[in-house]
Structure formats: structure tokens, C-alpha cells
Amino acid sequence: MSQQFDLVVIGGGPGGYEAAIRAAQLGYKVACIEKRLLNGKPSMGGTCLNVGCIPSKALLDSSHKYEATQHELEDHGITTGEVTLDLQKLLARKDKVVQQLTGGVAQLLKGNNIEWLQGTGKLLAGKQVEFVPHEGEKQILAPKYVILASGSVPVNIPVAPVDQDVIVDSTGALSFNEVPKRLGVIGAGVIGLELGSVWRRLGSEVVVFEALDSFLPMADKALSKEFHKILKKQGLEIRIGAKVAATEVNGQEVTVKYTQDGEEKTQVFDKLIVCVGRKAYAEGLLAEDAGIKLTERGLVEVNDQCATSVEGVYAIGDLVRGPMLAHKAMEEGVMAVERIHGHAAQVNYDTIISVIYTHPEAAWVGLTEEAAKEQGFDVKAGQFPFAVNGRALAAGETAGFVKFVADNKTDRLLGMHVVGPSASDIVHQGMIALEFVSSVEDLQLMTFGHPTFSEVVHEAALSVDGRAIHAVQRKRK
Ligand code: FAD
Ligand code: NAD
């Protein structure tokens, strides 16, 4: 006997499970189909909790502590004995964090009376859903609403086929058994910089190959320049304009052949991470007659409210247009459910933050100076360094700056760009300001606590009009 659900969500990542919980809160009878197995056991939470945001941040935090203990304590007058690394313990801690969170999500679903259907879901014609459990009989469900939230998978490139041994993707790079002496990374994007930093801090010599001729082209130019400089100083070797032409695995080594500045070169590594982007994952998700339109890039086509071409079917997260970010997926999941319920919810795509969780972190929201100019704004901008901030000096966290981009005609804030301590949190001040359509003056008139990193936000807003206090400003208003 097949069960009756108001809503079936296919995919239990951050987009899918948050949608399921919000729907249950609103009184819907909800099932969430999730097929993922982690160490042979069904696991909730999607890419984000299992092999993405959470394990990578656990590694980033542990490896930062390792590096800081070795190199940053002496300045504070603290002498340590020999600092040693127990990689297995570090990895086990990461796995425990993942287990805690994935288990927590499963508990949340249970607590909200959401049925976790463990297996594979497929959308059929007429909004029906086929559910094939890991064990047991196939079922056909006929819910009123469906949310597709099947996420994404890494992009593969033929020149570097992933074997999860010597050549790995981001998942393999979360669990190396020992610290590779020589680590190659293809792609200087978010994953390359984060996981490259993890293994560099743990002792690898890291070389990152980036095919494009510029570093982080989507970021504000001032930010990418400063950030590149900082990472380079830390010892992360980023080769811009380096195109990998071939790789050859010999036992436990891989030879990378690449071209840079017109020259053909080779380099040998113990491990190679391929992280050149992710693509929407819709394999086996849609029957041919399900009626769902896809874009040329294989994304599910949706409108601004995540409605697909089939009434009552929504699609969210990495499966649809926009940045592949957990927080974007979460808010889309909640928006889709609110829409189903008749509420006028809308994700503000202009205020979705981007963060790179290195140390220091880089984070931004809104328009870059370059994009604002391209869009025809009469741009004014100002930035302020952490180097002269009292709290940053006290903490020894002086690299980086906060920059604001604004409209000179209206004083409206257009974007905020941060490299520096706690950038991932500081950038939320810009996000809230943009959400409330703040002017630069609004920020200038606020009283920021002293001594805090956030005072740099205040000074950066003041510097837009040449009014920063702790710098000699040439242009004054
Ligand atoms: P997913 O999290 O991919 O979840 C989809 C789920 O659907 C999967 O568990 C899959 O098993 C399941 N599924 C697929 N098809 C079916 C089917 N037919 N039947 C049943 N189940 C199915 N984002 C951030 O915002 N911050 C970060 O710090 C960050 N770090 C990252 C680090 C790494 C290494 C990686 C790889 C990604 C990171 N991301 C980060 C991106 C983030 O993980 C994704 O944007 C987010 O997980 C997308 O959520 P989603 O719900 O759309 O899909
Ligand atoms: P990415 O799009 O961030 O970066 C990929 C990089 O690889 C780009 O710079 C691209 O120019 C380069 N590249 C592409 N093909 C190449 C080739 N053949 N040779 C050399 N370089 C090549 O992708 P990613 O780092 O794989 O991350 C995937 C997604 O996961 C991102 O879109 C991101 O949104 C998400 N993610 C987010 C976070 C975070 O929010 N902190 C962390 C990790 C991942």
C-alpha cells in the first residue's frame, strides 16, 4: 500500500531538508527521499554536511590550529614543545563532526514527523514520484507537490581522470591517509584554495594550476589582488594561465603536463586534486515524460520563485541557476514551501554572500566596483585596512581590508568586500545593509563597538567620503 504525502522532496541536502522541515511546520505531510550512504549507512544532509561545507571547515579549523600553534604563538610569548600532527585523529574528529550533524538532521526530520524514505526518487509524468528503496519494493507516490533538490557533483576533465587514489576530487581530498609531500591542485576556485590551504598548513608543498589568466575573476579586483598576495606569502603557489594538457599516473605518483606562457612544462606530485567546478546532478531524477524543462547546461529551468515547467513541482539549490551555495539552497527550499502555502516569499539573489574560508577569510556581497561601473553606476568606493585597527593589532590579525562600493548619485551601498579576520561574519553587516537598501551615510552615522574588527567596517564606510579617522585621507567631504 503506497503512502499519501502532501509534499515529496527528492534530495536531503541543505535545500531539501530545510524545505521539508518548513513544510512540516506549516502542517503538510512530508516525505524526503535521500539515497546517500556514508560508510555504508544512510545519511542525511547532502553534499554540504557529508562531503562539502562541514568536513572541509573542520579540516580548515584543525589545520589552522596546527599552523598557528607552530608559527603564531611565539610572538605572544608562548613557547611550545615539539608540535606533532596526528592526522588520523584530525580526520576522525572531522568524521565525528559530520556524524553529529547528519545525525542531528535525521533527528530533526523525525521530530517534525517527516518520513525519510531511504533510497532513490524519480519524478514521473503527472507529478507522480517513483521511490526505489535501498531495500524492499518500489513504490509510486502521488503527492500534491514535489520539490526537486538533488544537488550537484564535481565536474570531471578528461585530462585528469579521477581514481580517488592518486587523482582525487574534493571528496577524496577530505581524507588523505597521510599528508602528501607534493600536492597538485587543478582549479584556483573556492575548493582549490580551501583544500589547498588545508594540506599546505599540514605540510604539503602545494601547486595550484589555474587555466584562466586572472585570479578569482568574479571577485572585486582589489580583493582578488590582496587575497592572491596573502595566499602567495603563506606559500600557496598559484600558477595563473596554467593549462593542464595531460596527466600520467605511475604507481603512487602523477606527472602533470601543462602549458604556461607558451611553454610546455611537467611536474610530479604525490596527489592531485581536481576541482574545476560542479555540475547539476539530475541523473535518473526525471522520467522522459515528466515534463520538466532543462537548460542547455543541464540545470532544471525555474522562475524566480523556483517553480518548474510543471505546476506544483519546484526545483532548488545546486540543481538550478545561481551560485552553488548551501545558504542559497536553504533559502530557496524555504521560499518554495512558502510559495506552495500561498505566502509571497522571495529570495533576494542580490544579497547572497560569498565566502572563502581560508585564513584570513575572503568574503563579499553585492556588486564589485568593476560590475557596478559596467552596470552604469557613477561609482564611489572606499576601503580601510585591518593593519591599523586596534583589535586586529592586538590579535595579530592585521592582513586585509574592508571595501565598500556605492552609488555616488544616491549614496546607496552597492557592495562590500572583505579580506581579513572573521570576514565570513563581518560580511553579514554588508548583507543586512544591502537588504535594507542602506546608504553609506547610514553606516557612517552608526556607533561601532571599540575595540572590534567591525570598526574597520565603520572606517571603510567613512573612507568612501574621505572621512576615515585613523588614516590621513586626501579626498575629503
Ligand atoms: P546537495 O547538498 O548536493 O544534496 C542533494 C542530495 O540529493 C544528495 O545528498 C544526493 O544524495 C541526493 N539525491 C540526488 N539525487 C537523488 C535521487 N534521485 N533520489 C534521492 N536522493 C537523491 N557551500 C557553502 O555555502 N559554503 C561552503 O563552505 C561550502 N563548502 C563546500 C565544500 C566542498 C568541498 C563542496 C564540494 C561544496 C561546498 N559547498 C559550500 C557547496 C554546497 O555543499 C552546496 O551548494 C549545497 O550542498 C547544495 O545543496 P543542495 O541541497 O542543492 O544539494
Ligand atoms: P569554482 O568554480 O569555484 O572554481 C573552479 C576553478 O577551476 C575556476 O577558477 C576555473 O577557472 C578553474 N578551471 C576550470 N577548468 C580548469 C582546467 N581545465 N584547468 C585549470 N583550471 C580550471 O569550482 P570549485 O572550486 O570546484 O567549487 C565548486 C562549487 O562548490 C563552487 O561553485 C562553490 O560555489 C561551491 N563551494 C563553495 C564553497 C564556499 O562557499 N566556501 C567552498 C567549496 C565549494
> Residue 2: what pLDDT?
61
pLDDT mean over 77-101 = 97
For residue 191, the ligand 2 atom closest to its alpha carbon is 25
357 Cβ contact list (under 8 Å, min separation 6): 56, 57, 60, 194, 424
Residue with cell 518554495: 336
In tens, the pLDDT along 173-190 reads 999 999 999 999 999 999
Split at pLDDT 50, 70, 90, the class of 343 is: very high
> Which residue's CA lies nearest to atom 28 of ligand 1?
53
CA distances from 1 to 4, 7, 133, 137, 138 (A): 10, 18, 14, 11, 11
CB 462 within 8 A of CB 469: yes
> Residue 473: what pLDDT?
81
pLDDT mean over 108-131 = 98
For 274, list phi and psi in degrees, rounded to 5: -100, 115
210 belongs to an annotated ligand binding site:
yes
Nearest ligand by distance to the CA of 306: 1
Res 142 pLDDT > 90? yes
At 90, list the grid cell: 584530525
Cα–ligand 2 centroid distance for 371 (angstroms): 20
Res 1 pLDDT > 70? no
DSSP state string for 117-185: EEEEEEE-GGG-EEEEESSS--EEE--SEEEE---EEEPP-TTS---SSSEE-TTGGG--SS--SEEEE
Cα–ligand 1 centroid distance for 47 (angstroms): 3
Examine residue 158 and say whether the peptide bond preceding it is cis (omega within 30 degrees of 0). no
At 418, list the grid cell: 572583505
Beta sheet of 263-269, edge-to-edge order: 243-250, 253-260, 263-269
> Residue 3: what pLDDT?
75
187 belongs to an annotated ligand binding site:
yes
Q: How many residues does the chain have?
A: 477
In tens, the pLDDT along 400-455 reads 999 999 999 999 999 999 999 999 999 999 999 999 999 999 999 999 999 999 99
d(CA 144, CA 128): 9
d(CA 473, CA 426): 24
> Residue 477: what pLDDT?
66
pLDDT mean over 247-260 = 98
The pTM assigned to this predicted structure is 0.97
> Residue 335: what pLDDT?
98
What is the average pLDDT score of the chain? 97
Cβ of 11 below 6 Å from ligand 1: yes
CB 116 within 8 A of CB 12: yes
Cβ of 102 below 6 Å from ligand 1: no
Taking each helix axis as running N to C, give the angle between helix 190-202 and helix 221-234, from 0 to 180 degrees, rounded to the nearest 10: 20
Tell me if residue 450 is catalytic: yes
> Residue 475: what pLDDT?
66
Secondary structure letter of residue 291 according to DSSP:
-
> Which residue's CA lies nearest to atom 46 of ligand 1?
326
> Which residue's CA lies nearest to atom 37 of ligand 1?
52
Q: Which domains does the chain have, with CATH numbers?
A: 7-154+279-349 (3.50.50.60), 167-276 (3.50.50.60), 360-464 (3.30.390.30)
Cβ of 216 below 6 Å from ligand 1: no
238 Cβ contact list (under 8 Å, min separation 6): 188, 208, 210, 215, 228, 231, 232
In tens, the pLDDT along 319-339 reads 999 999 999 999 999 999 999
**Residue of 191, 227, 424 to mutate, ligand 2, most atoms within 8 A of C-beta:** 191
Check 71, 359, 450, 470 and give the catalytic one.
450
For 273, list phi and psi in degrees, rounded to 5: -100, 130
